[in-house]
Amino acid sequence: MTDGIKELQLNHRRRQDFFEKNLKPTAASIQKQLFTWNAVYLLTQTWTRFLMLFVIGMVLFVFPKLMQVDSQLLTGYILILLYIRSMLVSIMAAVPALSRANVAFQKIEELGLRLKLSSSDEIVSSDMAELTQSWQSVELKNVTHTYYREKEDGDFELGPINLTFRPGEIVFLVGGNGSGKTTLAKLITGLYQQETGEIYLNGQQQVIPDRQEQYRQLFSVVFSDFQLFDDLLGLEIVETDTKVQDYLVKLQLDHKVKIVNGKLSTTALSRGQCQRLALLTAYLEDRPFYVFDEWASNQDPVFKEIFYTQFLPELKAKGKMILVISHDDKYFHLGDRLIKLDYGRIVEQTNLVSTSNRTLTTGSC
């Protein structure tokens, strides 16, 4: 859950499947084991109390017969000690459990993943269908985000960012290491909350925190630090079996990976092959807006060529918006726009279509 938090936040159905198929069975198993060991613990506690009461009985009824002791004074001390002990044991037993529960809930809140979903499946699904059919643009207006980076003096500030994305575009996002490319991608997809500025959907509908969950369902993302799940969570496997096999062939993984009962037969693959499986999941989600964070960095030259020249144009032909974080300038001519970041600021925006047309015109002359 920790490693795949981004993927879970971005896909409502995947999160539900993860909760039903992975989290609930694990919690039930832990609950069963805890019940068993709590029963054993209570038995040992009961035996300990019995021994204590046995010793107290010896002190009260046996010792006075063996030595001169004021029985009333002895009884008073024992009763006070028993009363204090029971209270202290109850308090001390409750404090660690409450502390662990508090820490656990704080960690879950930090992940930003609610175990109890704020919206019903029907509402999110209907909103998703409406977004998929009607979305026209995602617009960032004066958006900023600040965070602390280790080994640097001061905070890193991204922005202000002013960008607009529309269906049927391939946009390349470039910049040096640490320039804020991945942070910008997380702002665009709603994984990070902007500190200032606004994000608008279709030019008018502002994305507010209450609608952040629905907004995230617009995106399908493969991050550089992606998490690959064994299950194809959130997907109707019965309907997509043929499609899965077709994609496995295209991704050249059909000889290594099979789909068995909605699960991947293996994920023990190289980093590049695992990235292809993550790409498979993204294709099957069929979202309007795709984000690829340096996806081709671990691919061999042959498959890198296939990704840029076949897969991206196919998605564009379907009317998808594709944002590609990449350093492969060899393929930039296939895009529509180029956005360059430098230390959190947009320093260049180039219309690649017009540039390509100018280049062709110059060549023909």
> How many other CB atoms are there within 10 angstroms of residue 267's CB atom?
13
**Which tokens in the block code for residue 293?**
């964070």
**Contact between 113 and 15 (Cβ < 8 Å):** yes
Question: Residue 323's pLDDT is what?
Answer: 96
**Contact between 183 and 325 (Cβ < 8 Å):** no
Question: Residue 362's pLDDT is what?
Answer: 35
Pick the CATH number of 121-364 from 3.40.50.300, 3.30.365.10, 1.25.40.10, 1.10.443.10: 3.40.50.300
* Element housing 185 (H / E): helix 181-188
Question: Residue 313's pLDDT is what?
Answer: 93
Question: Residue 151's pLDDT is what?
Answer: 62
Question: Residue 361's pLDDT is what?
Answer: 36
- Please state the φ and ψ torsions of residue 292, each to the nearest 5 degrees: -120, 115
User: In degrees to the nearest 10, what's the CA dihedral of 193, 195, 201, 204?
Assistant: 150
DSSP letter for each residue of 230-287: SB-TTS-HHHHHHHHHHHHHHTT-TTT--EETTEES-----HHHHHHHHHHHHHHH--
**Contact between 253 and 306 (Cβ < 8 Å):** no
Reported residue count of the chain is 365
Across the chain, which has 365 residues, the per-10-residue mean pLDDT values are 83 85 89 89 81 76 77 76 75 78 80 54 55 81 84 78 94 92 93 90 81 86 86 66 77 83 80 87 88 88 89 92 93 94 91 58 34
- Please state the φ and ψ torsions of residue 149, each to the nearest 5 degrees: -120, 135
CA gap 114, 133 in Å, rounded: 27
| CB burial readout 17-47, b (16+ within 10 A) else e | bbbeeeeeeeeeeeeeeeeeeeeeeeeeeee
Q: For residue 213, give the nearest of 132, 145, 144, 117 by alpha carbon.
A: 117
Question: Residue 339's pLDDT is what?
Answer: 95
The residue ranges of every structural domain in the chain are 5-111, 121-364
The strands making up 289-293's β-sheet, listed across from edge to edge, are 219-222, 289-293, 321-325, 170-175, 337-342, 345-351
- Please state the φ and ψ torsions of residue 224, each to the nearest 5 degrees: -65, -30
Say whether 305 sits in a helix, a strand or coil. Answer: helix
**Which tokens in the block code for residue 173?**
């996002």
Single-letter residue type at 159:
G
Is 0.75 surpassed by the pTM of this model?
Answer: no
Degrees (nearest 5) of the Cα angle 217, 220, 225?
Answer: 120
**Which tokens in the block code for residue 108?**
């879950």
CA gap 145, 138 in Å, rounded: 18
